Chain A
Amino acid sequence: MLEQSSLDSIKNNLANIIQDTTLMIVNIPENDKDSQVVSSSLNHWAEVEYKGPHSGSVYICADQEFLKAVSINMLGLDNSENITLEQQTDAFKELANVITGQLITLVYGKDFVYTLSPPLYFKEPPPLTNNSLFYCFSYDCEGLILRVIFVSC
């Protein structure tokens, strides 16, 4: 179980990483309920599994507008250009990959070796069981919500 001060530090560090990756201004919403993991409007999901001294998954979820904005920014495209669904999901999966790699070291440190799975994209919420320990962080990315769920089995 992580202490609140550690969680706050991780959440803030992750905000900077998301900002650097998405090239969006990222804020931590004050009134967002972190415990509300599944939201009907955030129906795009990506997952990266990690294995090592601890194992689990990192999920990110967002809406279609977020995927579009992220792919535009990461690929350096103009808004007017047509962005394919494949480009959007690829950028979203890459964001999940970067977040997972960074989150693992923020939570467990740099002394341990973890292996990450290739990121998966899906449109259904994951089955989060009661046996899983999980933390949920929410970010406001220029008005679009990104949720990061860290699950330790």
Chain B
Amino acid sequence: MNYTIMIVDDSSTVRNVIEKVIQITKIPVKKIIKCSNGKDALNVLNSEWVDLVITDIYMPVMDGYSFIREVKSLTAFKSLPILVISTEGSEKRKEELKAMGVTDILRKPFSPEYLRDALIKSLGGKEIIC
């Protein structure tokens, strides 16, 4: 199976870094979709199949919290894995995100190895690797 992965972050630097990490993992990727805020990401989700969402929290237009809340309120996306990559350090916020159905939370700065492991875990384990 080849996966479609969506990256949502207002920083083009972060979007490109995450894309590069995905490309050097052995995860079979069909397509990488990049969005700069939650609103754009929601629009794409309504028209394209996505296997995993990687999202930031603090973004203009629609932040990560609102985006995740919207996604998880829709029956079709209840089981969509969402990985959060953010500068968020508050334990309370992390608990809230987990309660909202987020698969994993990575704190910036992150290492490529840590992201790779989180991606594999979010997509269902090591058997996904070619």
Contacts and interface: CB of A to CB of B under 8 A. Distances in A.
B58 A98 contact: no
Given A104-B89, A112-B90, A75 B16 contact: yes
A110 B93 CA distance: 10
B104 to A, nearest CB: 17
Given A20-B109, A74-B17, A75-B16, A94 B90 contact: no
Given A21-B109, A116-B58, A93 B11 contact: yes
Main secondary structure of the interface of A (DSSP, over half): helix
A21 B12 CA distance: 15
A110 B109 contact: no
Give the interface residue-count category, chain B.
20 to 34
Given A71-B13, A97-B108, 17 more contacts: A74-B17, A75-B13, A90-B11, A90-B12, A90-B13, A93-B11, A94-B11, A94-B14, A97-B87, A98-B87, A98-B109, A101-B108, A111-B90, A111-B91, A113-B92, A118-B10, A118-B58
Interface of A: 17, 20-21, 71, 74-76, 86-87, 90-91, 93-94, 97-98, 100-102, 104-105, 110-118
12 contacts: A75-B16, A90-B11, A91-B11, A94-B13, A97-B58, A98-B87, A101-B107, A105-B89, A110-B91, A112-B90, A113-B90, A118-B58
